[in-house]
Amino acid sequence: MMKYYIQIFGCQMNYSDAERFAAKLEELGYKKAADDKEADLIVLITCSVRKSAEDRVYGAINNYHKKKLYPNLKTIILSGCMALRPEVLKKENKADIFMDIKNLNSLLKILKQKNKPAKFGDYFSVKPRYESKFTAYVPIMTGCNNFCSYCIVPFVRGREESRPVEDIISEVKGLIRNGYKEIILLGQNVNSYSPKLGARSSKQKITDFPDLLEYISKLPGNFWLRFITSHPKDLSDKLIRVMAKNKSARGGSAFGGKICEQINLPAQSGDDQILRKMNRHYTVAHYKNLVKKLRKNIPGIAISTDVIVGFPTETKKQFENTIKLFKEIKFDMAYINKYSSREGTAAARLVDNISKAEKVKRAAALNEILKIGALESNRKFIGQTLEVLVEKRNRKGDWAGKARTYKVVKFKSSKNLVGKFVRVKITKAENFGLVGELTK
């Protein structure tokens, strides 16, 4: 029996794609290998967003070429975003098959012919083999039209395309029926979700993302609803209204509606000139105003962000503006990225003039501010009882899960509560997490 192993790099989009890849392989008779060592077929779902991400993939492939360590391995498939980069395809000897995930429906043909391109298929029609029994990622769109000047995603993922409403809803309903407790809607920019209206979807009157979110939040069942990611230029008042309204709707949890009070809102920079060079189409003032509206209308909302340090030409003064933004907003979490030039993007034409050492320094400085703000926000939870979806047991033997705010909550329990909602009284705040005791 042929066994497969899938290694995932990059963003949640890839986790979701990997679930569809696994389902397709099982349909073709493959079984999941216990680890990569016993696999006949290894699939790498790759990421191109930064050079370091691609280097990790090459490291993994070089390792897989060690015959002694991987005696069974016959085929390496490289899929995901790197498979769509011409520079990568030149490195032919690295993988047996380079495959656009969109061709998933032709996998059998591709495996037989090794590398003859198959015709485009709707890979979303493949029903995924969900990794988790309680959290599911549901893509609502692919691609991106924004062309932020530093970003490779529009080049590898192609133009924005929204999934039909009825496909998304039937996938979500299936998940709810199967007892899923957390549904995370995925898109590079969910706020520009715009389904082509068919006869059935027009009846449901879902024309944009807030409509879709509201519709799903009203489906009966005991589940939480989250979404990533929101581009600040497209975050509408309507979305804020839907989130705010749901708070009092008392849906899936004892503490609020199904839509969790949490949002990732990538700022990328705290400087208007840099934002312009990044082609982001908003100002710092606009960003701050969004945060103000979110916090006013959705009490207790946790806000996280993505930021890039060392964008070409970013002066110390411009970086200070990002520091200022962090001090002011006090993010609950931030993904701090060091700029990495990507061939083919607009910013790659600018000189990458900020040294590696300076980027490291700027990232560390931001992280310090982040820690202070996040700790301050976490302290507010001490004494409160939070609902937590239990995810796993960590190395120290404590249980860990997520609160509605996406904050990690650790607690002790003699019982295995994975995949269950529990209530935890918070006793301690850490920089990026909370500690508490299980209560009734």
Q: Which is nearer to ligand SAH, 103 or 264 (CB)?
A: 264
Angstrom distance (rounded) from CA 147 to CA 197: 26
- Nearest one of 170, 151, 396 to 277, comparing CA atoms: 151
Residue of 79, 106, 146, 217 interacting with ligand SF4 (CB under 6 A): 146
Site string for ligand SAH, 340-359 (x = CB under 6 A): x-x-----------------
Angstrom distance (rounded) from CA 96 to CA 77: 6
Residue numbers 27-66 binding ligand F3S by CB under 6 A: 47-49
Count CB atoms within 10 A of the CB of residue 34. Answer: 10
- Interface with ligand SAH, residue 235, by CB under 6 A: no
- Give the side-chain half-sphere CA count within 13 A for 96: 16
Residue ranges of the alpha helices (H) in 49-186? 51-64, 86-89, 107-113, 153-157, 165-177
Q: How many residues bind ligand SAH (CB under 6 A)?
A: 17
Residue of 83, 97, 153, 390 interacting with ligand SF4 (CB under 6 A): 153
Residue of 6, 13, 141, 243 interacting with ligand F3S (CB under 6 A): 13
DSSP secondary-structure letter at 164?
P
The answer to whether the beta carbons of residues 38 and 72 sit under 8 Å apart is: yes
Tell me which stretch binds ligand F3S (CB under 6 A): 153-161, 214-222, 244-252, 277-285. Answer: 153-161
- Interface with ligand F3S, residue 95, by CB under 6 A: no
Residue 156 binds which of ligand SAH, ligand F3S, ligand SF4, none (CB < 5-8 A, kind-dependent)? ligand F3S
- Nearest one of 156, 153, 164 to 101, comparing CA atoms: 156
Residue numbers 401-440 binding ligand SF4 by CB under 6 A: none
- Interface with ligand SAH, residue 339, by CB under 6 A: yes
- Nearest one of 319, 298, 310, 427 to 369, comparing CA atoms: 319
Q: Which is nearer to ligand SF4, 227 or 421 (CB)?
A: 227
Give every CB contact of residue 196 below 8 A, 6+ residues apart in sequence.
Answer: 162, 164
Give every CB contact of residue 432 below 8 A, 6+ residues apart in sequence.
Answer: 333, 371, 374, 378, 407, 408
Count CB atoms within 10 A of the CB of residue 424. Answer: 25
Give the CB-nearest residue to ligand SAH: 306
What is the dihedral angle through the alpha carbons of 127, 224, 160, 207, rounded to the nearest 10 degrees? Answer: 110
Residue of 41, 49, 278, 291 interacting with ligand SAH (CB under 6 A): 49
Distance between terminal CA atoms of the chain? 47
Q: How many residues bind ligand SF4 (CB under 6 A)?
A: 10
Residue of 104, 156, 244, 291 interacting with ligand F3S (CB under 6 A): 156
Min dist. Cβ of residue 266 to ligand SAH (A):
4
Residue 154 binds which of ligand F3S, ligand SF4, ligand SAH, none (CB < 5-8 A, kind-dependent)? ligand SF4
- Interface with ligand F3S, residue 99, by CB under 6 A: no
Residue of 32, 55, 147, 394 interacting with ligand SF4 (CB under 6 A): 147
Residue 370 binds which of ligand SAH, ligand SF4, ligand F3S, none (CB < 5-8 A, kind-dependent)? none
Residue 434 binds which of ligand SAH, ligand SF4, ligand F3S, none (CB < 5-8 A, kind-dependent)? none
Residue of 6, 136, 153, 302 interacting with ligand F3S (CB under 6 A): 153
- Interface with ligand SAH, residue 278, by CB under 6 A: no
What phi and psi, each to the nearest 5 degrees, are found at residue 127?
Answer: -75, 125
* Omega cis (within 30) before 229: yes
| Contacts to ligand SF4 by CB under 6 A | 144, 146-148, 151, 153-154, 188-189, 231
